[in-house]
């Protein structure tokens, strides 16, 4: 066996029927673990990759990089979680998102007439307030069927933290983490609903999708008022 093959990272199910692959049928454990990184099979294989010897050219390359001049660090980069509610793609500051969970049962509160406050959920043994971000933004249920040819579409719940308290809201689909620079933030198009536009500070592009970026301050202050 050649040295290159010996040091090559292992090939596994995550690159074929997992989140990084496109073979069908998909891995049956994805519904349980949500992401391959949470699976014991991936974890075991990753230990093999971490423990393999460093190639000489890799060590030399990083020695030259660390010894060279330091480039200016870009400080205007933003990190957001991109997700879909109904037909709309929106993004929220990654710092607000503490957890992405599978759908949880919502227990409705008696005498609650609020469209925004949906009830409470049991999140890891803790009771969290569950609200409807779609109702807060005025976004209706999806008018079309969203599906991917090779990837299943799962509804999820996002656990966010505001002023030390955690809240939960359901989303139709999670796209993932995205980074952008402030210079890439464009103005809101006229097609954006006025109710949604009041909570957004601009739009970014992700492939062919226009993503509305939620204003963290406006969103959290309105949420606090809505659930009092």
Does one domain contain both 176 and 196? yes
Does one domain contain both 34 and 119? no
Q: Is residue 161 part of a domain?
A: yes
Does one domain contain both 116 and 138? yes
Does one domain contain both 63 and 98? no
Q: What is the number of other CB atoms lying within 10 angstroms of the CB of residue 164?
A: 5
Our count of domains for the chain comes to 2
Spatial separation of the C-alpha atoms in residues 93 and 84, rounded to whole Å: 14
User: Could you tell me the mean pLDDT of each successive run of 10 residues in the chain, 228 residues long?
Assistant: 43 80 83 80 72 66 64 70 90 91 90 87 91 87 58 81 87 90 84 70 88 88 78
Does one domain contain both 55 and 99? no
Q: In this structure, are strands 88-93 and 77-85 parallel, antiparallel, or unpaired?
A: antiparallel
pLDDT of residue 9: 39
Domain enclosing residue 86, as ranges: 77-226
Residue 198 belongs to domain with CATH number: 2.40.50.180
Does one domain contain both 12 and 62? yes
Does one domain contain both 105 and 16? no
144 close to 200: Cβ distance less than 8 angstroms: no
Residue finishing a domain among 67, 85, 117: 67
Side-chain half-sphere CA neighbours of 79 within 13 A: 8
Does one domain contain both 93 and 202? yes
Q: Is residue 157 part of a domain?
A: yes
pLDDT of residue 204: 92
Pick from 12, 19, 10: nearest CA to 38: 19
What three-state secondary structure class fits 98? strand
Q: Is residue 72 part of a domain?
A: no
Q: Is residue 221 part of a domain?
A: yes
Residue finishing a domain among 18, 36, 67: 67
Does one domain contain both 61 and 130? no
């Amino acid at each position: 066996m050649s040295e290159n093959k010996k040091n090559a990272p292992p090939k596994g199910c995550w690159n074929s029927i997992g989140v990084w692959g496109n073979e069908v049928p998909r891995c049956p454990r994805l519904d349980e673990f949500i992401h391959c990184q949470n699976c014991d099979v991936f974890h075991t294989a990753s230990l093999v990759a971490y423990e393999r010897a460093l190639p000489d050219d890799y060590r030399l390359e990083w020695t030259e990089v660390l010894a060279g001049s330091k480039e200016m660090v870009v400080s205007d980069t933003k990190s957001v979680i991109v997700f879909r509610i109904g037909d709309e793609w929106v993004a929220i500051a990654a710092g607000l998102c503490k957890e992405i969970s599978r759908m949880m049962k919502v227990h409705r509160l008696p005498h609650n007439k609020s469209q925004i406050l949906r009830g409470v959920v049991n999140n890891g043994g803790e009771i969290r307030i569950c609200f409807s971000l779609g109702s807060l933004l005025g976004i209706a249920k999806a008018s079309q069927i969203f599906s991917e040819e090779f990837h299943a579409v799962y509804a999820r719940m996002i656990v966010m933290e505001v002023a030390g308290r955690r809240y939960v809201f359901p989303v139709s689909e999670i796209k993932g983490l995205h980074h952008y620079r402030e210079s890439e933030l464009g103005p809101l198009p006229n097609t954006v609903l006025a109710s949604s536009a009041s909570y957004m500070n601009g739009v970014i592009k992700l492939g062919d999708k226009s993503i509305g970026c939620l204003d963290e301050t406006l969103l959290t202050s309105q949420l606090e008022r809505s659930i009092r």
